Amino acid sequence: MEERKFEQLLLSVQKPGRYSGGEDGSIIKDKENKIRFAMCFPDTYEIGMSHLGVKILYSLLNSREDVWCERVYAPWIDFEEVMIKNNIPLFALESRDELKKFDIIGFSILYEMCFTNILNILKLSNIPLLSKERTSLSPLVVAGGPCTCNSEPMADFIDLFMIGEGEEVINELIDLYKESKKSNLSKEEFLIKAAKIEGIYVPSLYEAEYNENGTVKRYIPKNGAPKTVKKRIIKNMDESYYPKKFVVPYTEIVHDRAVEEIFRGCIRGCRFCQAGFIYRPVREKSIDTVLEQSKALCESTGYEEMSLLSLSTSDYSNIECMLEKLLEYTDKNQISLSLPSLRIDNFSKELVEKVSTVRKTGLTFAPEAGTQRLRNVINKNINEEEIFKACKTAFGQGYLNVKLYFMLGLPFETDEDIIGIAKLGEEILNLYYKNENRPKGKSPSITISVSCFIPKPFTPFQFHPQNTEAELIRKQELLVKSVKSKKINVKWHDSSTSFLEAIFAKGDRRLGKVILNAFNHGAKMDSWGECFNKEIWLNAFKEENINPDFYAYREIDYNEVLPWDVIDIGVKKEFLISENEKAKQALTTKNCKEKCSDCGALCYKSGICLNKRTKSNT
């Protein structure tokens, strides 16, 4: 399309910068003799551009001479209408070529509520939605990301899933694709070969059988596909690829700053947390690597803000020393440094002092449960004393706003635990007023943010049912009623989207027809309150004769075959069962630094578990 016409169309929508491309750091290559990869993020530009995994893969793929990787985001409703009206197929931001021209279309799937956006991206590109309807090798539709640890609900639409860390497997996939294209292999021949690469799951090579009660009987692999697909991980974070440059957007995005990932995995093992199990084992970058990569990023992007990223930043082995060195650089260059994902128990005065030399905004903590008993049940190894100590330290440093994250509907939860959340908020507020040095004329604010517990695959709580919507609403109301102070705000997550998340998180491939039905009836952008339409989904379940409660509200027997049993995530099922048994008695498990619990992740011979074993053996 002519540039002027395109510009005119952009002027008719909000945030045209989402679609214009041409940002600093975006990569333009000659199309000749390249494998063309469309890196699709199935949500808006602002969210997708903030996602580190996509930045890493974009840069990694483009570091290959034989690949040109471009970015694609889900268009917002207004631009989608413009596209349809003007007959414009969805395009990649760099070349503005339509997706049909690409060899590989790769989706990063971070949450279940973006499934319909994946279908929408394919539809707007005039690409058949079902994998079996796409008979030629290109475009091949692949997916990765945390949600693919249970790939089954999307099995009808995606040709292959990359399980685990994409950087580790994607080059092997591209090499095979290139070779197969040269030798004119059919899609089927290619997929059979791809399934032999460790970490690649090709759902069409597995036949699913079900029991009479609706549970999965077994998955039968075909054509030499492995019985289980083992997750791939980066073994040495110092040697892994990390971008030296980011694409810097023109328009506002969610996280617009340099980001340095300091480690992967989490030592903790909170029993509800999927990330804590699927990213095991913990693998840290050395301080030198963190410094070198941080400097390179800040210098190439010109960002004046940088944040450190991990699942639990303050668990980094030598955080004080690392921060000291990093602050030397950031202070000198007037770069503000932020540390998200702080844990409350190792949040020392020194650490606050170090960060507060740069920034003094709000603090966030995640106690997750309102009483010690329930915190033990979920294995959140923190106590009230530690929470108060951390808040006191923060208030003493001049922080005014504290945000506390909790979950409602956790297994073994009672009303006392919910009232406990309100009590905890009040006690923290009192701590602020007890601080004699509190700033005059300023008012503190405590935010209690509650989400609904969603039982996720590969966690000890995967066996539990979700609370019904009515029960969750009752619990939300109880919490609001229990909070007395006006200085405490309670915010909560919509329980109907949580219901769908629970269904799809633990779903099997029979749900593909529900996703398709809902999409055909207009479901898209389901994680956006203004777009989400629960009725469409409930009708889709009804029309497809599938009972959603079976997936969300059923207690799972330890002996049941699960849709994600076809994936080997490293952590053993027996370990998850033993952790669930300990939860019943409110018994905690030590973190990986204190004691190895033999979860199974040692099979990767990497990171913390290896170091611990080696040390204890010597």
Is 567 strand, coil or helix?
strand
Nearer CB in complex with ligand SF4: 233/546: 233
Inter-helix orientation angle 319-332/349-356, to 10°: 10
Whole-Å CA distances, 215 to 249, 287, 510, 512: 46, 48, 11, 16
Cβ-contact 124, 82 below 8 angstroms = no
Nearer CB in complex with ligand SF4: 563/607: 607
Question: Largest Cα–Cα distance of the chain, in whole Å?
Answer: 76
Q: Smallest distance, Å, CB 278 to ligand SF4?
A: 11
Burial class (CB in 10 A: 0-12, 13-18, 19+), 504: buried
Indicate the helix (H) or strand (E) that contains 41.
strand 35-41
Q: Smallest distance, Å, CB 23 to ligand SF4?
A: 38
Q: Which stretch binds ligand SF4 (CB under 6 A): 140-148, 300-308, 559-567, 597-605?
A: 597-605
Neighbours of 28 (CB within 10 A): 12
Give every CB contact of residue 126 below 8 A, 6+ residues apart in sequence. 89, 98, 100
State which of residues 202, 411, 592, 606 lies at the interface with ligand SF4 (CB under 6 A).
592
Q: Smallest distance, Å, CB 609 to ligand SF4?
A: 3
Burial class (CB in 10 A: 0-12, 13-18, 19+), 338: middle
State which of residues 281, 298, 355, 578 lies at the interface with ligand SF4 (CB under 6 A).
281
Q: Residue 457: which of 211, 231, 237, 131 has the closest Cα?
A: 231
Nearer CB in complex with ligand SF4: 269/507: 269
How many residues lie near ligand SF4 (CB under 6 A)?
A: 12
Q: Smallest distance, Å, CB 589 to ligand SF4?
A: 8
Nearer CB in complex with ligand SF4: 234/355: 234
Within 142-263, where are the H helices?
166-182, 187-194
Q: Smallest distance, Å, CB 573 to ligand SF4?
A: 14
Nearer CB in complex with ligand SF4: 141/609: 609
Pairwise CA distance, residues 562 & 254, whole Å: 35
State which of residues 62, 342, 602, 606 lies at the interface with ligand SF4 (CB under 6 A).
602
Neighbours of 586 (CB within 10 A): 15
State which of residues 34, 96, 360, 612 lies at the interface with ligand SF4 (CB under 6 A).
612
271 is a site residue for ligand SF4 (CB under 6 A): no
State which of residues 130, 608, 614, 618 lies at the interface with ligand SF4 (CB under 6 A).
608
Q: Which stretch binds ligand SF4 (CB under 6 A): 47-55, 158-166, 395-403, 602-610?
A: 602-610
596 is a site residue for ligand SF4 (CB under 6 A): yes
Give every CB contact of residue 35 below 8 A, 6+ residues apart in sequence. 66, 67, 68, 103, 104, 174, 177, 178, 181
67 is a site residue for ligand SF4 (CB under 6 A): no
578 is a site residue for ligand SF4 (CB under 6 A): no
Is 274 strand, coil or helix?
helix
Q: Smallest distance, Å, CB 163 to ligand SF4?
A: 18
Q: Smallest distance, Å, CB 131 to ligand SF4?
A: 34
233 is a site residue for ligand SF4 (CB under 6 A): no
Q: Smallest distance, Å, CB 263 to ligand SF4?
A: 13
Nearer CB in complex with ligand SF4: 63/597: 597
Residue nearest to ligand SF4 (CB): 609
Residues comprising the chain, all counted:
618
Nearer CB in complex with ligand SF4: 243/276: 276
Cβ-contact 167, 554 below 8 angstroms = no
State which of residues 20, 50, 489, 597 lies at the interface with ligand SF4 (CB under 6 A).
597
Q: Smallest distance, Å, CB 567 to ligand SF4?
A: 17
Pairwise CA distance, residues 200 & 164, whole Å: 9
Nearer CB in complex with ligand SF4: 536/602: 602
Pairwise CA distance, residues 541 & 408, whole Å: 26
Q: Smallest distance, Å, CB 276 to ligand SF4?
A: 9
Q: Smallest distance, Å, CB 458 to ligand SF4?
A: 13
Q: Smallest distance, Å, CB 311 to ligand SF4?
A: 13
Burial class (CB in 10 A: 0-12, 13-18, 19+), 14: exposed
* Token pair recorded at residue 343: 């844990």
Nearer CB in complex with ligand SF4: 51/268: 268
State which of residues 280, 354, 510, 554 lies at the interface with ligand SF4 (CB under 6 A).
280
Q: Alpha carbon 359 to chain centroid distance?
A: 26
Inter-helix orientation angle 512-520/115-124, to 10°: 60
601 is a site residue for ligand SF4 (CB under 6 A): yes
Is 99 strand, coil or helix?
helix
Q: Smallest distance, Å, CB 570 to ligand SF4?
A: 8
Q: Which stretch binds ligand SF4 (CB under 6 A): 94-102, 422-430, 498-506, 606-614?
A: 606-614
Q: Which stretch binds ligand SF4 (CB under 6 A): 184-192, 451-459, 531-539, 599-607?
A: 599-607
Amino acid at 555: E
Please give the residue ranges that form the binding site for ligand SF4 (CB under 6 A): 280-281, 592, 596-599, 601-602, 608-609, 612
